[in-house]
Structure 1
Amino acid sequence: MGIERTGYRLRLVCDAEYCRNHLGKGLLEVDGDSLSRCEWAARDVGWRLGGDTVLCTDCNAAETRRERLSANEQSDSAQKMTKLTQPGKWHGGKFHLAKRIIELMPPHVHYVETHFGMGSVLLQKDFEGVSEVVNDIDGRLTAFWKALQSPTSFEAFCRLIDATPLSQIEWRQANTTMAAVTTGKSLAERGAAFFINNRQSRQGLGKDFATLSRNRTRRGMNEQVSSWLTAIEGLPEIHERLKRVVILNDDALKVIRQQDGPNTLFYCDPPYLAETRSSGEYEMTYSDHVRLLALLGRSVAVDASRFDDAVETLGPLLEWQRKGKFLLSGYPSSLYYETAGMNTWHRVDIQIDNKASSAKTKEIKTVCMWAN
C-alpha cells in the first residue's frame, strides 16, 4: 500500500491486485488509530505504517508470498500457467465468465469449489501458492475427474477414448453403461462412459445425441467431429493440472464446514433455483438453497411455507461461525437478494448472452456474484 495525506485524515491506497482493479484509490481511511475500514472485507482491518508504505495485516501473507518471487520465477510461473478449456459440456457452466469470476477473488491460500461441475473456473485460475480442493455431489462426474487424475486410470481411459469415434452407436452404448449398475466396471471405464455420454450429447445434457452441423465445417471436417477430437487432444494437460487438486464427492455443506479457515476462499456455484432457469439432473430444492445461504450467512430470508422443515432447524447453520470468504453465483431471485441484503454481502452483476440458445438473437441473462 501507499499513503496519501488529505487534511487531518490519512488515506491508504491499497495496491492489492483486486483492490487496484475494482475499488481504486482511497480504499482505506483512518483517523490516527490502528484500524481502518476495508470496503472489500466490509469490516475494519489492521495496518502497519513503515516509512512511506502501509501494509495491511490482512494481506500480509499473500503480499509476502508474491514479493518472494524473483522476476525470473514470476516469468517461469507465467509460462507454466496455461488457461485450460473444460473437457466436457456443462449446463450452467462458467467457461465464458471464468475470467471475470477470477478477477473478483480476494487473496487466499486455500481454494475450495463446492459445486465443481466441469471445472471451468479452476482450469483458468492461477494455481501457484494455493492448495486446491474441489467437490461435487454427482458421483459419476467425480469418477470422471478421478479417472483423469489417476496415472494408471488415465492411461486406460485414454486408450478407450482414442478408440471411440463420434458415433450415435457409441453414445447409446455409453448411455446404457451410465444407466446400469457400475459394479465391476473400472474407474477408467466409468470415466470414459461419462465423457462419451456428455461430450457427444446435445448441449452436454446426456439426453440426445449431438445435433450435426450441415452448413459449416471446422478444421476441414464435420464440426462435431472436430470438437470431439479437440476435447481428446486437451486431456493430457488437464491430467497434469489435476495432480495438484484434491477431489471430493460429498455434500457441499459438509465440505464448507470441514474446509473452512481464515485463509480459505470458497467458490460456490450451486444449481440455480429452479424458478430462475430450466432444470438439470442434479437439482437443489428451495430448502437446499436456504440451507446453503444459512451456512454462508448470519440471516436468511426463508419463506416458511416453502421450507421443508421447521424454520428452527436452521439455527445450527446460522450460528456456525464461518472464518473464510466466499464467492457465490446465482441468477436474480428474491431469496438471494433479500438474504444478501440482510447479511450486507457485496454483489456484482454480469451480463452475458445465453450460450445454450440456438436463436440468432440470444437472450441476455444476468449472473449475480455475491461475496462476503
Structure 2
Amino acid sequence: MTKKTRAFLKWAGGKFALVEEIARRLPDADRLVEPFVGAGSVFINTDYPSYLLSDINPDLINLYQTLKHDADHYIRESRKMFVPEWNDKEAYYKARQRFNDTNDQFERAVLFLYMNRHGYNGLCRYNKKGGFNVPFGSYKRPYFPQKEMEFFAEKAQRATFLCADYHTTFAQVQTGDAVYCDPPYLPLSSTASFTSYASGGFNMEAQHTLAECAREAAFKGASVLISNHDTQDARKIYHQADRQEFLMVKRTISQKGNGRKKVNEIFAGYGASR
C-alpha cells in the first residue's frame, strides 16, 4: 500500500489508522466481505476484484448506493449545502428535521452527508423513534470531500452494498472469500460504560455469536479476520480462533489533543491466512 485514501465520511471507530495492519493480514481472494463496513476505510484501501459490503444502518447503505449509481448528480447537489449559510445552527436543525421527515432516498443521502460533516464530532446517532439527533458541530469550515467521494464512487462499481445484519451477510459468504469484521468494540475495562455500548443491539451474546459465525465460515473454506479491543473478554471470545495477534494502536478517546493514547488491539483469524 503506497498511499492511504481517507473515507469521505467521519466515522466513530473508523479504521484509517489500521488499514495497513488489516490489509497485511487479509489473504488474496476474489472477493472481500465486510459485515460492518462503516466508513469503508478497508474497502477503499484494498484491491480485491469484488466486494460485498454491508451494514445495519439503512441511511449509510442508501448513501453508498446513491453514490455508486448517481455520483455526479449526488455530488453536485451535496455541494450546495457546503456553503456559509448552511453552516449555521438554525439551518442545521431545519435540515435535520427535513431528514427525519422525508422518505425521499436521494434527499436523505444528501442530508446524511451534510449532517455527518456539520454535526458534532461526526457522530451518527438516532433516538428511540428513529430520528437522527446529533447536535450542531459549530465547525469553522466543514470540508466537502469531493475527491474522496469520486474515488469511492469509481471503486464502488466493484461492490455490492447490502443493508443487513452480520448473520445475513455471513449467510452469503462463499468458499474462498476473505472476510473482515469490525464489530462494535468491547469496553476497554469493567468500569467502562456498557449501557451505551449494548443499547445498539450488539451485546456480549452478539460478540460470541459473531465468533461462531467466523468459525463456521472458515469451516466452509473462507478466511475471516476480526478486530477488537484486546481485553480478557475478547481473548475468551476468540479462544478458538486459529490465530490471535496483538498490537498497540494510537486512538483518539476525547476531543482534546491529550486524549490520544495507545490501546491494545486484538486480531483474531479464522481459516487460511496470507
Same fold (TM over 0.5): yes
Any residues of structure 2 matched to 1:74-85 within 5 Å, and which? 83-85=4-6
User: Contact conserved, 2:241 with 2:268, CA < 8 A, in 1?
Assistant: no
Q: Which residue of 2 aligns with 1:241?
A: 155
Q: Which residue of 2 aligns with 1:258?
A: 172
Q: Which residue of 2 aligns with 1:228?
A: 143
Any idea what the Cα deviations from partners look like across 1:312-346, whole Å, max 9, x if unmatched?
xxxxxx799432011101112333201322x1431
Provide TM-score, normalisation by structure 2. 0.82
User: Contact conserved, 1:272 with 1:284, CA < 8 A, in 2?
Assistant: no
Any idea what the Cα deviations from partners look like across 1:77-113, whole Å, max 9, x if unmatched?
x9xx974320111111101111111111122222100
* Residue identity opposite 1:121 in structure 2: V
* Residue identity opposite 1:157 in structure 2: Y
Are 2:118 and 1:197 equivalent residues in the alignment?
no
Q: Which residue of 1 aligns with 2:66?
A: 147
Q: 1:188 aligns with which of 84, 103, 106?
A: 106
Rounded Cα–Cα distance in structure 2 between residues aligned with 1:345 and 1:173: 51
Rounded Cα–Cα distance in structure 1 between residues aligned with 2:11 and 2:146: 16
Structure 2 unaligned regions, length at least 5: 125-133
Secondary structure in 2 matching 1:116? coil
User: Contact conserved, 2:170 with 2:217, CA < 8 A, in 1?
Assistant: no
Any residues of structure 2 matched to 1:222-371 within 5 Å, and which? 222=140, 225=141, 227-229=142-144, 231-261=145-175, 263-273=176-186, 279=196, 282-297=200-215, 321-341=219-239, 343-361=240-258, 362-371=260-269
Report the CA distance shift for 1:124/1:344 in structure 2 as closer, same or farther (over 3 A): closer
User: Contact conserved, 2:253 with 2:261, CA < 8 A, in 1?
Assistant: no
Q: Percent identity?
A: 20
CA shift for structure 1 position 208: 2.3
Rounded Cα–Cα distance in structure 1 between residues aligned with 2:76 and 2:46: 29
Choose between structure 1 and 2 for higher RCO, CA contacts under 8 A separated by at least 6 residues. 2
Report the CA distance shift for 1:319/1:255 in structure 2 as closer, same or farther (over 3 A): closer
Report the CA distance shift for 1:90/1:283 in structure 2 as closer, same or farther (over 3 A): farther
CA shift for structure 1 position 239: 1.1
Any idea what the Cα deviations from partners look like across 1:42-96, whole Å, max 9, x if unmatched?
xxxxxxxxxxxxxxxxxxxxxxxxxxxxxxxxxxxx9xx9743201111111011
User: Contact conserved, 2:187 with 2:229, CA < 8 A, in 1?
Assistant: no
User: Contact conserved, 1:84 with 1:238, CA < 8 A, in 2?
Assistant: no
Rounded Cα–Cα distance in structure 2 between residues aligned with 1:252 and 1:93: 18
CA shift for structure 1 position 260: 2.6
* Residue identity opposite 1:242 in structure 2: A
Any idea what the Cα deviations from partners look like across 1:219-278, whole Å, max 9, x if unmatched?
xxx5xx2x513x1343222211111111111121121122231x1111011111356566
Any idea what the Cα deviations from partners look like across 1:143-177, whole Å, max 9, x if unmatched?
111111113xx333223211112513443233223
Rounded Cα–Cα distance in structure 2 between residues aligned with 1:364 and 1:137: 29
Rounded Cα–Cα distance in structure 2 between residues aligned with 1:124 and 1:238: 10
Q: 1:114 aligns with which of 30, 35, 54?
A: 35
Provide TM-score, normalisation by structure 1. 0.61
Q: Which has the larger radius of gyration?
A: 1
Secondary structure in 1 matching 2:255? coil
Report the CA distance shift for 1:233/1:174 in structure 2 as closer, same or farther (over 3 A): farther
Q: Which residue of 1 aligns with 2:8?
A: 87
Secondary structure in 1 matching 2:252? coil
Q: Which residue of 2 aligns with 1:210?
A: 137
User: Contact conserved, 2:230 with 2:246, CA < 8 A, in 1?
Assistant: no
Report the CA distance shift for 1:94/1:135 in structure 2 as closer, same or farther (over 3 A): same
Q: Which residue of 1 aligns with 2:127?
A: none
